[in-house]
Structure 1
Amino acid sequence: MTDTPQVGDVMKDTTTNRVGKVMGFTGPYVQLRPLGGGIEWDARPERLTPTSPAEALSAGMAEANSRSWQGVSVATNSGLPAAVQNPRTTKEVSAPSAECALAKRPGYEDLHGDCRETRDVFLPGSAGILLTPRCDCECHIAECQ
């Protein structure tokens, strides 16, 4: 690959044949997360290729199918679970984007402006299946109201 991937790009790791969203960079590695969420993995930048819309859609559907096989139900016009329930308070505990999480550290405050997860992204042609949830950071609440 000749171009450096950017945070938020959807890339295919040719070493593992997995498709993921670029979440950040650690040393010589690019950190990727499965499109439907999950555990990040490290990949070498030279082993990444851009995905076609069809590949991204296929990977998103595979993630959604994997969740349904594991017992996570998806109702029509509802998103995939973007947050977990806290059993003690029964309130949703959400996660900010990688940029907003890093922006909470001293010296990185300006990264809030780089967050691309300012709206929910639904799987194209689906009945409301959420592909990427909106960042729930406080800095985006005013933008959505």
Structure 2
Amino acid sequence: MPPPVPEIGALLMDSARDLVGEFRGVWAGRWSLRPVRGGVEWEVDPKDVRPLSPEQRLRASVG
């Protein structure tokens, strides 16, 4: 069963790429993420995405 779809703008970890991204939406069953500070979006399989720990969230917001 796929994970629940997060809110637009939620910060998530793409564990397949080891990158933090901002959730942008769903297309054809894949999720779109983009770099926190803007840039080119990428697609990820929802099973490869997990929420950020509080430490990762803080790092992403100031990094």
Q: CA deviation at 1:58?
A: 1.9
Who is 1:9 aligned against? 10
Give 4+ residue runs of structure 1 displaced > 3 Å after superposition.
none
Partners of 2:23 and 2:32 within 8 A in 1: yes
Q: 1:114-144: CA deviations, max 9, x gaps?
A: xxxxxxxxxxxxxxxxxxxxxxxxxxxxxxx
Identity of aligned residues (%): 31
Counterpart amino acid of 1:44?
D
Q: 1:57-83: CA deviations, max 9, x gaps?
A: 22340xxxxxxxxxxxxxxxxxxxxxx
Report the number of matched residues. 61
With over 3 angstroms needed to count, the CA separation of the structure-2 counterparts of 1:25 and 1:2, relative to structure 1, is closer
1:53 paired with 2:58, answer no
Unaligned runs of 5+ in 1: 62-145
Question: What is the TM-score of this pair, normalised by structure 1?
Answer: 0.39
Who is 1:72 aligned against? none
RMSD value, Cα: 1.6
> Highest Rg: 1 or 2?
1
Mapped to 1, the partners of 2:51 and 2:4 lie a distance apart of: 10
Counterparts of 1:91-130 in structure 2, within 5 Å, are none
SS in 2 for 1:20: strand
Who is 1:108 aligned against? none
Counterpart amino acid of 2:18?
N
Which of the two has greater strand per residue?
2
**Greater RCO (CA < 8 Å, at least 6 residues apart):** 2
Question: What is the TM-score of this pair, normalised by structure 2?
Answer: 0.81
Unaligned runs of 5+ in 2: none
Who is 1:34 aligned against? 35
SS in 2 for 1:49: strand
